[in-house]
Structure 1
């Protein structure tokens, strides 16, 4: 599914965030130490190779809502943006911290004059953020920041599960029709 909002192509697809050729930067749902792990972080670090973690080490730890940028190494992208989402029920205020993840990534992509970015679902895995709440935060943050974007021309959401894909598509339709 894809639409154009304010001159920017916004798409949603099911897939592997570590396999996004043609995208300048992919977003890693990182842990505080920016280390390899499970889920998105594991997939990105595995695909990028050990050099990624070596570059990440001096930037750790990061805190919920923050983002840092590194090279992408063996990934088919130029860069990786690492952001730490909030742990639902522990990191407060969850909504603002999750929105900050997306805004921080968009801001860094703009600062590096990147034209395309791919996001996974941040904080909805082991960090326990309910996907149906997270998706509303994601789209509200995106809509608020679209007017500020000068370089980004493509924003893609890459979801791992069919359930998340359907949830994002349903919410996306409401935005595109509204």
Structure 2
């Protein structure tokens, strides 16, 4: 599904975040130490190669809601933007911290002149954020950021499974 608002295309697809060949920057649902992990972080680090973890060392640790940028290394993308999402039920206020992930990633994209960015469903895996609530925060935050975006022209949500895709598409359809 695709929607265009303020000259920016927002889309949702089912797929692998580490295989977005037509996107300038992918977002890593990172851990605080920016190390290889499971889920999105594992997929991105595995595809990017050991150079990514080496570059990340000097940037860690990061706090919930924070974002930092590195090169893409062996990924087909120029950049990786690493965001530490909140652990649901522990990091408070989790909705604001999650929104900050999306805001900070988009602000970095604007600063770097990045035209296209792909997001996973940040915090919905090991950090247990309910997908419906997380998608509402993500898409609402992006909606609010649209008037401020000049460089970014494509925002893609890359969802790991059909259920997450349907949740994001339903919320995007209301945009």
Give the shorter-chain TM-score range: over 0.9
Distance in 1 of aligned mates of 2:172 and 2:67? 25
Q: Which residue of 2 aligns with 1:92?
A: 92
| Shift in Å, 1:139 | 1.1
In structure 2, runs of 5+ residues without a counterpart are none
Question: Is 2:165 the partner of 1:172?
Answer: no
For 2:161, the equivalent position in structure 1 comes to 161
Tell me whether 1:52 sits opposite 2:52 in the alignment.
Answer: yes
CA distance in 1 between counterparts of 2:103 and 2:162 reads 25
CA distance in 2, matches of 1:36, 1:62: 14
Alignment of 1:128-139 (within 5 A): 128-139=128-139
Q: Find the residue that maps to 2:101 and give its secondary structure.
A: helix
Q: Map Cα deviations across residues 55-88 of structure 1 (whole Å, 9 max, x no partner).
A: 0000000000000000001000000000000000
The normalised TM-score by structure 2 is: 0.99
Residue 83 (structure 2) aligns with: 83
Over the aligned positions, Cα root-mean-square deviation in angstroms equals: 0.5
Specify the alignment match of 1:147 in structure 2: 147
Q: State the alpha-carbon separation in 2 of the partners of residues 147 and 155 from structure 1.
A: 14
Q: Residue 18 of structure 1: SS of its match in structure 2?
A: helix
Equivalenced residues, count:
175
TM-score (norm 1): 0.97
Q: Which runs of 5+ in 1 are unaligned?
A: none
Residue 3 of structure 1 and its aligned partner are, at CA, apart by 1.4
Matches within 5 A, 1:55-134: 55-134=55-134
Q: Deviations over 1:123-166 (max 9, x none)?
A: 00010101111111011100110000010010000000111000
